[in-house]
Amino acid sequence: MPPDDQTSVNWNRAESISVPAPDREGRLAVRRADWDRIKRSLANCTRKPSLLPVWYSILFGVSGSAGLTIVPLLVTKDLPAWVLPAYIIATLASGLMAWILVRLDKERETTSGSEIALIQSDMKDVESAFQVSNPPTPPIPQAPIVAAAPAPAAAAPPQATV
């Protein structure tokens, strides 16, 4: 029997397992059922709904409304001097903010999709490192079956007479 130190492994199951050398790397054993559950969860990952489309729709609406109001304001007489510049600023500011939110939303969609794809790719790489062809397992030796001798017939119990 080998000495009981950290370089020996005793394994008594008829199952193949990949075990790294302790001086090379450390690994964490994960049950196949847990790994499959993680893969299913990742495959079912969906992007959380965002409120960005709601906000940029509101801002585009404000921008469009303020922009359309500029035309009648140009022909209006006796208008305070601050009204027309305020509408122009409101149109440009809300339009710019809406455009920025659209860009952020598109970037968020692209990033979350690529992150999920990257994680799935990493999981496939890990799986391929552990693809081991299962060699036929030797049959488990069984003890020979010994036929039991027939049990002697039991004596009939005495019957009571009346």
Residue 150 lies in a domain: no
Residue 151 lies in a domain: no
Q: Measured in Å, how far apart are the chain's first and last C-alpha atoms?
A: 74
Distances (CA, A) of 76 to 13, 69, 91, 148, 154: 91, 11, 18, 115, 122
Does residue 94 contact residue 59 with C-beta atoms inside 8 Å? yes
Residue 108 lies in a domain: yes
Residue 24 lies in a domain: no
Nearest Cα to Cα of residue 70 among 92, 98, 99, 55: 92
The rounded distance, in Å, linking the Cα atoms of 52 and 109 is 11
What does the block give as tokens for 124?
């496939």
What does the block give as tokens for 35?
């790994």
Residue 35 lies in a domain: no
What does the block give as tokens for 142?
């069984």
Number of folded domains in the chain?
1
Residue 87 lies in a domain: yes
Residue in the structure block whose two tokens are 């692209």:
110
Residue in the structure block whose two tokens are 């903010």:
97
pTM for this one? 0.49
pLDDT, tens only, 31-73: 777 777 777 777 777 667 788 899 999 999 999 999 999 999 9
pLDDT, tens only, 128-155: 766 655 555 555 655 555 555 555 665 5
Please give the share of the chain, as a percent, with pLDDT higher than 90.
Answer: 28
Residue 123 lies in a domain: yes
